[in-house]
Amino acid sequence: MDTVSFTLVMSNFALIASLPLIIFRRDGSFNLKWCCTALPFLVVVVVLILGFVGMLTSLKYPSQLWFELAQICAALFSIASIGLIASTIHAHEFKPALWHQVNDQPQELVTWGPYKRIRHPFYSAFFLAFCASLLLFPHYLILGCCVYSCIVLTLTAKREETRLTQVFGSKYQGYMSTTGRFIPAKLP
């Protein structure tokens, strides 16, 4: 495992772990649903650390070239994730609620910054972080966490979109028609 790529991936997960302190409202709780959504982030970090110190081995790359390309892509995905998180934080005038909160009524409909093209840029950044970790250290536990997170975050996004449609009505439906859930509906 490349040290520079490992450091970037771990920095990315550290930033993700700090988000409840940096951007999200303090009136929520780390309830069971929240913990179940957050658990794969912790598992991936532990697996990466164990792999880095040599206590776990990854699946084998087909060649040294594949290994080097995967390490570079892991670093690039982490940089993209960190940049997307930073721009998403900057786009919020009001702090959003944590996942799965009873009181998570939105205070505003954010349609600028990364939200101009993607409805859930935090989740997109999380997907990039998981992809980076899988490229960095291909392991069945990381693959399982990636699949689990894709399912859970997609279900969470659908629930949030239903609530946002109820709150903002046709304004949100119009927004949904011009943006993608996790990737841009169309490129600029």
* CB contact at 8 A, 50 and 148: no
**In this predicted structure, what is the pLDDT of residue 28?**
82
Q: What is the pLDDT of residues 134-182, one digit of tens each?
A: 999 999 999 999 999 999 999 999 999 998 999 899 999 999 999 999 9
**In this predicted structure, what is the pLDDT of residue 175?**
96
Q: What is the pLDDT of residues 97-139, one digit of tens each?
A: 887 777 677 778 999 999 999 999 999 999 999 999 999 999 9
Average pLDDT of span 19-38: 89
Mention every residue, 6+ apart, whose C-beta is less than 8 A from residue 36: 152
The domain 3-178 having CATH identifier 1.20.120.1630: the answer here is yes
Alpha helices in 23-120 (DSSP H): 32-52, 64-91
Coil vs helix vs strand at 27: coil
Mention every residue, 6+ apart, whose C-beta is less than 8 A from residue 141: 43, 44, 47
**In this predicted structure, what is the pLDDT of residue 187?**
64
Does 26 have pLDDT greater than 70? yes
Q: What is the pLDDT of residues 76-96, one digit of tens each?
A: 999 999 999 999 999 998 888
Domain boundaries, the chain: 3-178
